[in-house]
Amino acid sequence: MQNSSLIDAARDYITGQYQQHPHPELVYHNLEHTQQVVKAAAQIAAHYRLQDEELQAVYVAAWFHDAGYLLGEAPAHEQNGAEEAVRFLQSQQASENIQAMVKGAILATKMPQSPHTLVEQIVCDADLFHLGSKDYADRNKLLRKEVELRIQQDIPAANWLAGNIKFLTDHHYWTDYAKTYTQQQKNENLQKLLKKMEKKSAEAAEAPVVIAPADNAGTPDAELLEKNKKKLKKPDRGVETMFRITSTNHIRLSSMADSKAHIMISVNSIIISFMLTVLVRRIEDYPNMVIPAVIFLATALTTVVFAVLATRPNVTSGTFTKEDISNKNANLLFFGNFYKMKLDEYEWGMRQMMNDADFLYGSMTKDVYHLGVVLAHKYKLLRISYNVFMFGLIISVLAFMIAAIFFPVKA
C-alpha cells in the first residue's frame, strides 16, 4: 500500500511544493517534519487493520497536514492544507470517501486536537509523535526558532519552558499504540523540562510574553510548576525494581499456595471416594470401625473445605467513580476494580493515573499490599487445611488401631 500511485503522487506533489515555494522561516514545519509525520503515521497504522481507502487517507493526510504553511498564514494552515489536499485528490480522481477522510484528518490536527475516527486519531498522534521520542529536545528548539522568526522577537527561555510544560501536561495521545509506545519517553521529556524550569524560574517571573508549542499559550505559573513537579516525581530505579520483584514474588507464592491446595483437594477427594465406595459397604462386617471411619471421613472433608476456601476467588464491584480517581482511592492495576467499566472510562482513569506519579506509585503500593493480604489469607486457610489433615490422619490411624486391638470383631 505504501507504493500505491495515489500515495506516491501525494509524496511527489508535496515534495515539489516545498522545493517550489521555499520558506526559510519554516525551520520546523518543513519537508523533514512532514516526512517524519508520514513515517510515524505508517508506524501507527501498521498496528491496525485498516481498509485500503483508510490507509491511503492516513498517508495522504500526513503528507498534506502542514501544506497550509506554504499557502497562507500559520493560524489557518489546517484549513488551507485540507482544501489543498481535496483539490489534489480531485485531480487524482480519488473517491469522495477518501477526500472526506483526508480533510477530516487534517482539520482534526488543529489545536486542541479533536479526532473522531481512527484515521483522524492516527494522523493526530503522528503529528505530535515527537513529544514521546528522544528527538523531542532538538525538534522543540527548531519550533522555538521558527516561532521567533515568525513573530520577529525573542521568547524568554522561562516562558517557553512554561508553555511546553503546560502543553505536554495537557496533551494525550489518542491511539492505544501511541499511548503504549511513547508514554515513558514523554514523561522523561517532561521531567527534563521541569528541571530546566527550576533554573529559569526567576527569569520566567519577569517575562512578559508566553508562547507554547503549536501556538498554544501557557502561563509560567509557580503553582503549575509545583503541580507538575509533584506529578512527575520519580523514584529511582531501585524502587521500581523493588515493586517489580515484590509483585513477582507475591504472584509466585500465590501460585505455590494454589498448587498446595490442589494437592490437598486431590488427595482427600480420593480418600473420600475410597471410604464411601469400599469401607462403607463393609461396615456391617466391621462395626468396630465405624468411629475411626467417621473420623477419617470428617478429616478428609474438612481438609478439602479449607483447601477450596484457600483457592476460592472473591468477587469485587468491578467499578470505580471519578470521585475515586480524584481521591486516588481506585487501584486500576487490579482487574476486579474495573472489569465492569466501559473502555473509554477506564482509559480516562488510566490517563489520570499515568499523568500523576504519586497516584501511579500509590496504586502500585496498594496492589502489592492487597496481594500480600490475599496471600496471607490463602496461607492461613492452607495451614488450617494441612493441620487438620495431619492431626486428623494421626487420630484416624490411632482410632483404627485401637478399634482393631481392643474391640476386635467376634467371629
Q: Is residue 124 part of a domain?
A: yes
The answer to whether residues 157 and 144 touch, using CB atoms and an 8 Å cutoff, is no
Amino acid at 192: K
Same domain, residue pair 52 and 71: yes
* Domain range enclosing 318: 237-406
Same domain, residue pair 217 and 242: no
Q: Is residue 411 part of a domain?
A: no
| Of residues 236, 146, 240, the one with CA closest to residue 191 | 236
User: Residues near 181 by Cβ (< 8 Å), separated by ≥ 6?
Assistant: 132
Same domain, residue pair 374 and 253: yes
Choose one of 162, 197, 229: the last residue of a domain.
229
Work out how many domains the chain is built from and give that number: 2
Same domain, residue pair 152 and 294: no
Q: Under DSSP, is residue 174 helix (H, G, I), strand (E, B) or coil?
A: coil
Same domain, residue pair 24 and 45: yes
Q: What is the DSSP string of 156-198?
A: -HHHHHHHHHHHHHH---SSHHHHHHHHHHHHHHHHHHHHHHH
Choose one of 205, 229, 253: the last residue of a domain.
229
Same domain, residue pair 153 and 263: no
Same domain, residue pair 170 and 264: no
Amino acid at 403: A
* Number of helices (H), then strands (E), in the chain: 15, 0
Determine the Cα–Cα distance for residues 55 and 49; give it in Å rounded to an integer.
9
Amino acid at 21: H
pTM, to two decimals? 0.50
Going residue by residue through the chain (411 aa), what tens digit of pLDDT does each one get? 444 788 888 888 888 888 888 788 888 888 888 888 998 888 888 888 788 888 888 898 888 888 888 877 777 788 888 888 888 888 888 888 888 898 888 888 888 888 888 988 898 988 888 888 888 888 888 888 888 887 888 877 777 788 888 888 888 888 888 888 888 888 888 888 887 777 666 444 444 544 444 444 344 444 554 555 544 454 556 666 777 787 788 788 888 888 888 888 998 888 888 888 776 677 677 777 788 888 888 999 999 999 888 888 776 665 777 777 767 777 677 666 677 777 777 788 777 777 777 777 777 787 788 778 888 888 899 899 999 999 998 998 998 889 888 888 765
Same domain, residue pair 168 and 285: no
User: Residues near 376 by Cβ (< 8 Å), separated by ≥ 6?
Assistant: none
Torsion of CA 225, 230, 233, 235, to 10 degrees: 160
Q: Is residue 103 part of a domain?
A: yes
